[in-house]
Amino acid sequence: MDKLIEKEIKETISFIKSKTKLKPKIAIVLGSGLGDYTNHLKVEATIDTSTIPHYPKSTVEGHKGKIIFGFLRDTKPKKSVPVLAFQGRIHYYETGDIRTVLFPILVAHQLGIKILFLTNAAGGVNRHFHPGDLMLTKDQVNLTFENPTAIINGNKKINKPIYDEDLIKMIIKIAEKSNVPLSEGVYVGVKGPSYETASEVEMVRRIGGDAVGMSTVNEATLASALGMRVAGISCITNYATGVTSAKLDHEEVTFVANMVKDRFSKLVSSIILSTNNL
Ligand code: HPA
């Protein structure tokens, strides 16, 4: 790894470890409008990322910039799962520096995270999708044209699925059991920050995309390369441009994400509680 980042990560980790003794194996990155999920945790420590040495700053509304250590509790059977939650993330378009996007993933890895859930708000490209739907990521296309593994291993080739196949199977079963409708599809990550044109959305559809968004793909690739099991859940907050004639704005995205939060939370909690047995 880049020597400077390695040094920074060390300082970041020692700061975080001075704030909590909790050692979660599971982490979740909460995307636009989904940050309130942490209300379901019994919080042990909340760290404002602006106080953490070297931690990049998020500037997007709906992204709180906190990392939270807490327990997710279940009553039947009684158990308590330690969880690390990232409230908000840094998007590539905010800084133009891929290292700021990847920094939290390197931190998660150094903290000993083995399973990473990446969530996001996304536009529905698949014509069967509607605002408020949840989509499990089967695979992704990275249209940011970055390759984040360069940060850790130079030019070594990695060839394995990014999204963990056992997790995918398990999540589909859990969604069925908990009666939470869940679609599956391919997430296409673009740089943004402006929304796509109708022609770009048509391109995304033709290359096999079901949903489009401005995050996740680089984080997922790096996390998987680092050996974490990765799963992705998109909250479809809007029809992507051109799917309907409706105009699109960030307010709508956070509004719909907010609307879905009960279903989203129910699904995420059931997944985390089962994942603990994986
Ligand atoms: N496009 C890109 N990113 C998004 C969208 C979209 O339609 N909705 C939420 N994030």
Mutation probe of ligand 1 site: the residue of 188, 237, 258 with most atoms within 8 A of C-beta: 237
Distances (CA, A) of 111 to 46, 49, 71, 164, 189: 15, 15, 16, 20, 26
259 is catalytic: no
Question: Which ligand 1 atom sits nearest the alpha carbon of residue 190?
Answer: 2
94 is catalytic: yes
Domains of the chain: 3-277 (3.40.50.1580)
Question: What tens-digit pLDDT sequence spans the chain (278 residues)?
Answer: 777 888 999 999 999 999 999 999 999 999 988 999 999 999 999 999 999 999 998 776 655 799 999 999 987 778 899 999 999 899 999 999 999 999 999 999 999 999 999 999 999 999 999 999 999 999 999 999 998 998 887 667 778 899 999 999 999 999 999 999 999 999 999 999 999 999 999 999 999 999 999 999 999 999 999 999 999 999 999 999 989 888 777 888 888 888 899 999 999 999 999 986 66
- Ligand 1 pocket check for 30: Cβ under 6 Å: no
250 is catalytic: yes
- Ligand 1 pocket check for 135: Cβ under 6 Å: no
* pTM attached to this predicted model: 0.95
